[in-house]
Structure 1
C-alpha cells in the first residue's frame, strides 16, 4: 500500500568498495616510497652534471641533454646493447624450446610419466640457487686450472682451454648459467598453461586423425599464447637487465674485449665511479627501451591472436 511504503524506513546500503582501497593502500605506499620516488629522481638526475673527481664533488649542474649526447656519441652504448641482446637470445631460444618440450611431455596423459613431482622439483631447484653462487661455481669449474680442464687434459689435450679468454666460450657459459637458472620456472609456467587447455580438444583432434605434431602446433601453441607472451616479455626484461652472472664471471670487466659487457654492467660502471648524471641517463634509456620493446612484443603477439580469432 502507498501509505505503508512511505512509512518503511530505507535501509542503508553498506558499501564495501572503500575496504578494497584500504587493503591496496599499503602496496601503493611502498611502491611510491621505494619505486616511484627513485624513478623520478633518476629522471631528474639524468639532466644534471653530477660526479666525483677524487674527493671533489662536481655539480649538480643542469646540462640538459648533454648526458644523453655523451652516451650515444662515445660509441659504447650500441656495442653493449648488442652484447646484451646476443646473450639474451643465446639463453632464451634454447630455454623456450626445451621448456616447451618438457611441458608437453609432462602434460601428455598418454605417456604416463612416473615420478613427475620429483622431476618438477629437480628442474626448478636451480632457480632457487643464488646467481652469485652459480657464477662462482662455474668460474671455479671452467678456470684454467679447474676440474673441466683437468678432465680434458687427462683425455689427451696438451694445454688447458681458456674458456674465459675466448668470446664464444665466455658468452656460452653466461647463456648456459642463465638457462639452467630459469628454464625450470619457464617449464612450470608452460605446464600450467597446457593443463588449462580443455582435454576434449585433444581427444577430438585424435579422433579426426591429427598427429601429435599437428595437435601441438595447431591446438596447444595457439591456446597458450597468452602465457608465452608473458614468458617472452618477462624474459626480455630480465635479459636487458642481465648483470649478476656476467659481472661475477668476468670480474666486472666484460672480457674478453668487452664482449660480455651488458647494459646494466655499463650502468654500474658509472654508478661505481660516482657519475650520477651519466648513470641516470643510462637508466632512463634502459627504461624506455624495455617499455618500447615490451609494448611492441605485446601488441605483436596479442594482435596475431585477435586476428586469428577473428
Structure 2
C-alpha cells in the first residue's frame, strides 16, 4: 500500500515537472522576438559601425578597405568635430544645472507636509507637458517666437522700449546657445521633477517624524535626510541626462541646422551630416559614433564611481 502511494506521488511530481517544462518553453518563445529584434537592429548595427570606423568606406563605394586607426587620428585632428564636442558639453551643462536645481526645488515643495500644496497633480501634468510635445513642433514654436524681424519676442522688446531695433537671435552665437539650452531645460525639467519626487516619496516617513521630534526644520530634514538618501536617484538622473545630452540632435538641427558658426553643432548632428549629406563619409561618421560611445561609457563610469567612492567614504567615517 505504501509502495503504491509512493509511486503515485512520484508520478504526480513527474507530471508537474513536465508541465513546468512546457511552460518554460513558451516563455522562451515569447522572449525570442525581443532578442531577434535586438540582434537585428541594435547588436549588428553597433558592431558594423565599429567595423566601418576602421575602413575607408565613403561616397557611393561598395567595397571597404581596412585602414587601421587612421580614422581616429583624423577625427582627433578634425576641428569641426572638436567644436561639436565642446558645443555638446556647453549645451548640456547650461541646461542641466538649472534643470536639476529647479527639479529638486519643485520636488521639495510638492512633498513638503508643512506647505501642503493643493493641485499638485495638475502642476505635475503641466510641467511634464513639454516633454510629450514632438521636437519638430517645439522647434517650429520657438523659431516663430524668436523670428526676425517681426517675431513675438521682438515685438515685445520693441513695444517695451528694451531695444531700439529688432534682434536677429539666430545670428548670435550666445543667444542661439541660450535658446537651445532653454528649450532642452523646458522640455525635460518636468520629467526630472517627477523622478525626484518619486524618490523622495520612497523614503521612510519615520525618519522625518523623528527629525521633527528632535526639532529639525523642513530644510534641515531635506538637506540632512532627503539629499543623502536621494543619491541613487540623483545618480540615475545625472547619468541618463548625460547620455541624453551627449546624444542631443533634434532641437539644434531643426532650429538652426547647427549654426550660426557651428555654435550648436553637436556630435550627433556632425555624425548625421557626415553620413547622409555631402560626400557621405560613412567612415568618418562611424568613427565619430565610436568615439561618442566611448565618451558616454567613460563619463557614465566616472560619475558612477565618484558617487560610490563618496558613499563609501561617508560609511567609513560613520563607522569610525
Structure 1 distance, partners of 2:238, 2:25, is 36
Structure 1 distance, partners of 2:228, 2:154, is 45
Matched, 1:298 2:304: yes
Structure 2 distance, partners of 1:140, 1:6, is 82
Structure 1 distance, partners of 2:25, 2:312, is 36
Matched, 1:34 2:38: no
Q: 8 Å contact 1:48–1:59 — kept in the other structure?
A: no
Gaps of 5+ in 1: none
Counterpart residue number, 1:199 = 205
Q: Which of 146, 157, 160 is the equivalent residue of 1:152?
A: 157
* TM-score, normalised relative to structure 1: 0.92
Matched, 1:95 2:99: yes
Q: How many residues align?
A: 305
Matched, 1:270 2:274: yes
Question: Equivalent residues in 2 for 1:134-173 (5 A)?
Answer: 134-145=138-149, 146-156=151-161, 157-173=163-179
Q: Which of 256, 280, 287 is the equivalent residue of 2:260?
A: 256
Give the C-alpha shift of residue 224 in structure 1: 1.5
Q: 8 Å contact 2:112–2:218 — kept in the other structure?
A: no
* TM-score, normalised relative to structure 2: 0.89
Q: 8 Å contact 1:49–1:58 — kept in the other structure?
A: no
Give the C-alpha shift of residue 27 in structure 1: 1.8
Give the C-alpha shift of residue 24 in structure 1: 2.9
Matched, 1:181 2:211: no
Give the C-alpha shift of residue 265 in structure 1: 1.0
Matched, 1:131 2:131: no
Q: Which of 68, 75, 89 is the equivalent residue of 2:72?
A: 68
Give the C-alpha shift of residue 70 in structure 1: 1.1
Q: 8 Å contact 2:99–2:185 — kept in the other structure?
A: yes
Question: More strand per residue: 1 or 2?
Answer: 1
- Once the two structures are superposed, residues 119-164 of structure 1 have per-residue CA deviations (whole angstroms, 9 ceiling, x without a partner) of 1111111101011111111111112221111111112222112211
Question: More helix per residue: 1 or 2?
Answer: 2
Counterpart residue number, 1:217 = 223
More divergent stretch after superposition (69-78 vs 146-155): 69-78
Give the C-alpha shift of residue 97 in structure 1: 0.4
Change (3 A) 1:235 1:7: closer
Gaps of 5+ in 2: none
